[in-house]
Amino acid sequence: MRVKIKFPEVKELYTATIPVRIGDINYGGHVGNDAVLSIVHEARMMLLATHGYSELNAAGNSLIMADVMVAYRGEAFYGDVLSVKIYAEELSTISFDLLYHITTTRNGVTKDIAHCKTGMACFSYETRKTAAMTDELRLLLTGGK
């Protein structure tokens, strides 16, 4: 069964612009599957940094990735500039999902590159256990900040 990621009908939380680096290119001449995960991580860090946060302090929570899904939709090449729209959903007391819609535009035509989802958990590095999501982080993820 193929992975299918459905994006919510709401405005994205953030859009990152990330150029494809030569190190992102695999032996097939396009962005490699490992690079897609790195691009998703970079976009997530950019979202957090816009609000003055990091994954060690995201509005009072540290974050860890619990799972990831990637649906490859097209090829990206060296020199392409990727647009990564980020959405949040499935917020619980300790976790949430981030969805990433990755596209590039060539010759005026926008093409899907990948649809991704990361399951993120709030985490305490002191206790080495999951932690309750702060109200401030919940507000950021619902577009209230």
The CATH number of residue 74's host domain is: 3.10.129.10
Q: What is the pLDDT of residues 64-110, one digit of tens each?
A: 999 999 999 999 999 999 999 999 999 999 999 999 999 999 889 99
Does pTM top 0.85 for this prediction?
yes
- Give residue-wise pLDDT tens across range 38-48: 999 999 999 99
102 within domain boundaries: yes
3-class DSSP assignment, residue 117: strand
The pLDDT, as a whole number, for residue 145 is: 66
Q: Which two tokens stand for residue 144?
A: 């209230």
Give residue 96's domain range. Answer: 14-141
Q: Would residue 33 count as lying in a domain?
A: yes
* Rounded Cα–Cα distance for residues 80 and 75 (Å): 10
> Is the confidence at residue 144, as pLDDT, over 90?
no
Structural domain tally of the chain? 1
- In tens, the pLDDT along 25-40 reads 999 999 999 999 999 9
Q: What pLDDT does residue 1 have?
A: 59
